[in-house]
Structure 1
Amino acid sequence: MLQAIELLPVQATPVLLFTRHSLREVVRGIGLAGYDLQLTDQGRELAFAWGEHLTQQTSRNITNCISSPIQRCVDTAELMIMGADQIKQNNTHKIDIAQESLLVEPGSFVVDIKQAAPYFREQGAVGFINSFVQNCLPGMKHPVTGVLDVLKLLYQTYQVEQQHLDHCGHLSLAVSHDTILAAFIAIIAGHQQVESKDWPEMMEGIFVWFEYVDAPFEQNIVHWIWRGQHQRLDIARLIKHIDKK
């Protein structure tokens, strides 16, 4: 993430950070991380410090935020905003955090939890996302359709930044979960396989921005930075992939 900061575009270009929540309580037993798992004390400190560091190092103000409705994601967003405000004293603490169903499951990729859940329990998180990316699971959206849904939400959030005409850097936040980030990154990068080493750590994220601020979503180009690599994708290519199905 520190390497990514060095690759961000010029300050006048708004950027969105699509991130996993901060450090949470450990899952007991085998299965999904429950909705009730909260951030640890270290996780709260990390989210605050990361928000503070981002603002200090990039001179970008956090100006809007969306989040999974799960409490650990909302808390991560709130603490990052508080950390940013510690540096800028720019009233970022008054930002409303919009809770989005597309940033949690079921919602982003899962359509029928009763059909999909047994495969998660059987395959584990990495195996489940691999099956999803390869379009091999019942109860799920087509993987490209799901990613386009999330990407369009990010674009709509990003467009809010265009309302700021002071030519200062602005940063949006989107706080979600590891499975959603892992699948999203795999699809936009064109990968058919996800390995354990590819899995997003807690408080790890992908920086995103769009090339044309006024162009329709379908005609835009998305840029992203993930683990020190800057890549870009013509969104029309994803849409064309769906049209072929």
Structure 2
Amino acid sequence: MFSAVELLPDHDTPIVLFTRHSIREVVCGKGLAGYDLQLTDEGRELAVAWGEYLSQQTQRQIVNCISSPIQRCIDTASLMIAGADRHFTENTHQIEILEQALLVEPGSFVVDIDLAVPHFRKQGAVSFIDSFVKNTLPGMKHPIRGVLDVLELLFNSHLIQCEPNPTSKHCALSLAVSHDTILAAFIAVISGHFQVQKKDWPEMMEGVFVWFDNTSSFEASQLNWVWRGQRHQVEIRDLNTAVHD
């Protein structure tokens, strides 16, 4: 993530950090993380420190936030905002954290949970998402369609940042806090890999920085992102076309 920060665009370009939540309690089994698992003390400290670091290093102020409705994601967002407040004097901690169903399952990619869950329990998280991006699972959206839905949500967060704010002297950063399965599929699809292995799996508090060029419409925009020290781009229209191929 440190190397990713160095690859971000000029300060006048708003960006979105689409991130996994911070360190949570350990789960037993094949990656079946229940909704009730909370952040550890270390995870809470990390979220605060990371929020403060981002503000210091990028000189970007958190201006809006969306999150999975699961508590560990909401807590991650709140703690990152609190960390950013250590650097900026503005009351960023009063930003409303908007809960979004597209940032949790079922919601992002699962259409029929009764069809999908048996496969998840049998395969475990990594193999399940690998099967999903290959479009071989029942009860799921087309992987590109599902990712486009999430991308449009991020695009709308990005647009909020593009609106003039005469009261702020700082550049804009938006947070979107979600889960490992959603982020892993998102990265695979926008990268055109359609394969997910253990090495590709996002760590807790790891995320991807995204921003959009040509914001006249979502369909006409170009997606830019930085993931694990590499910068990429893709046309949204190319992803839309691939859904029907």
Alignment TM class, shorter chain as reference: over 0.9
Provide, for residues 192-239 of structure 1, a one-character-per-residue CA deviation record: whole Å limited to 9, x for no partner.
2111111000000000000123x1100100000000000000000011
> In the TM superposition, what are the counterparts of 1:1-150 in structure 2 within 5 Å?
1-150=1-150
Tell me the C-alpha RMSD between the 2 structures. Answer: 1.0
Q: Aligned equivalents of 1:176 and 1:81: distance in 2?
A: 16
Moved more, 160-169 or 41-50: 160-169
Q: Give the secondary structure class of the aligned counterpart of 1:87.
A: coil
Structure 1 residues 114-138: Cα deviation after superposition (integer angstroms, max 9, x where no partner):
1001111111111101110010000
Of all paired residues, the percent bearing the same amino acid is: 63
Query: Which letter maps to 2:87?
Result: I
What's the CA shift for 1:169?
1.2
What SS is found at the alignment partner of 2:86?
helix
**Which amino acid is 1:200 matched to?**
P
| TM-score under structure 1 length normalisation | 0.97
Which deviates the most, 234-243 or 47-56? 234-243
Determine the C-alpha separation between the residues in 1 that align with 2:31 and 2:214.
41
Give the partner amino acid of 2:214: Y
User: For residue 236 of structure 2, what is the aligned residue in structure 1?
Assistant: 235
Amino acid at match of 2:52: E
Unaligned runs of 5+ in 2: none
Q: State how far apart, in whole Å, the 1-side matches of 2:31 and 2:94 are.
A: 36
Contact 2:30/2:123 (8 A) holds in 1: no
Check conservation: 2:30, 2:125, Cα contact below 8 A: no
Q: Which residue of 1 aligns with 2:206?
A: 204
2:225 is matched with which residue? 224
- Structure with the bigger percentage of helix: 1
Following TM superposition, the consecutive aligned residue runs of length 4 or more in structure 1 with deviations greater than 6 angstroms are none
